[in-house]
Amino acid sequence: MMDAMTPRRMRVITIANQKGGVGKTTTAINLATALAAVGRQTLLIDLDPQGNASTGLGIDRDDREVSSYDVLVEKASVTEASMPTAVPNLFLVPSTLDLLGLEMEISGATGRAYRLRDALHFHTMEGAQFDFVLIDCPPSLNLLTVNAMAAADSILVPLQCEFFALEGLSQLLQTVEQVRDSLNPALTLHGIVLTMFDGRNNLAAQVVNDVRSYMGRHVYDTVIPRNVRVSEAPSFGKPAILYDMKCPGSQAYIRLASEVIQRERRLEVA
Ligand code: ADP
Ligand code: MG
């Protein structure tokens, strides 16, 4: 039983893929919402200077007083930077364009790859408030993504169901391997989620088969369908799950969340 005396077991999951437009942010927002909806205290950290996760959760630029940039330059703690969202149990560390300059600013600093890890570690020492921390990465393997990988227990990779899906994956897995060797030996691959699946497209089904045969048990059973309702939701500043919970995309993200929780349970007993 969880009580005030039991420290929370906080799981940090980084959502990464150096390709843009593969569904990282959509997955971050909707997986976080689905985890929060089943009562998990959840924090989404927006590490992309574009700030799509922040916008998609309805947080306007003017309201982003303390941001992930402030955490990475050690001006604010994770607690200070976390703001509530319209989703109960879901908090956000928003991003701002300041992040664009971060790499230059801290390029000479020792421990620059550990800024986020240290901030989350401090948060745990304070008595962590969260069960899950999800980190939405920019579309590159830069210092921001490396910080996110160094801070994580595991990586979740969205792959778009298209011909070039597997291209780039080996580079990503190589980076994960490098981070494991140098910065974070405990880092694991949480799983690969296939996104924007279009059932009318034979190629998409072939891609699903290829990825499953190549990556085996790492691929989640849940495949996220291409769904207009999912792509409309951010313009209303809402997760798809709030905008239209019944649409197939939202339902898929709800199933993905239960797979994520099941995998966590398995890791816990292992
Ligand atoms: P990334 O963060 O990897 O760049 P996004 O999550 O922003 O990718 O998705 C890229 C685009 O595809 C966005 O316009 C988004 O709304 C759209 N999109 C993502 N997932 C789906 C989906 N399941 N169905 C329809 N559109 C989607
Ligand atoms: Mg994104």
Query: Which residues have C-beta within 8 Å of that of residue 101, sequence separation ≥ 6?
Result: none
User: Does the predicted interface ipTM exceed a cut of 0.90?
Assistant: yes
pLDDT of amino acid 48: 97
Are 181 and 208 in contact by the 8 Å Cβ rule? The answer is no
Q: What is the pTM of this model?
A: 0.96
Tell which atom from ligand 1 comes closest to the C-alpha of 26.
Answer: 6
Measured between alpha carbons, how far is 136 from 92 in angstroms, rounded to an integer? 11
Per-residue pLDDT tens over the stretch 217-268:
999 999 999 999 999 999 999 999 999 999 999 999 999 999 999 998 887 7
**Ligand 1 centroid distance, CA of 55 (Å):** 14
For ligand 2, the distance from its centroid to the CA atom of residue 47, given in whole angstroms, is 9
Report residue 1's pLDDT band, with 50, 70 and 90 as the boundaries: very low
pLDDT averaged over the chain?
93
Residue nearest to atom 11 of ligand 1 (CA): 21
Residue 3 pLDDT class (50, 70, 90 cuts): low
Contact partners, residue 68, CB within 8 Å, separation at least 6: 45, 46, 47, 81, 93, 94, 95, 96, 99
Pocket of ligand 1 (CB under 6 A): 20-26, 52, 139, 195-196, 224, 226-227, 230-231, 234, 249
Give all domains of the chain, ordered by start, each with its CATH number. Answer: 11-269 (3.40.50.300)
From atom 20 of ligand 1, which residue's Cα is the shortest distance away?
23
pLDDT at 155 over 80: yes
CB 73 within 8 A of CB 106: yes
Residue 5's pLDDT is 54
pLDDT tens digits, 188-206: 999 999 999 998 988 999 9
Confidence of residue 172 (pLDDT cuts 50, 70, 90): very high
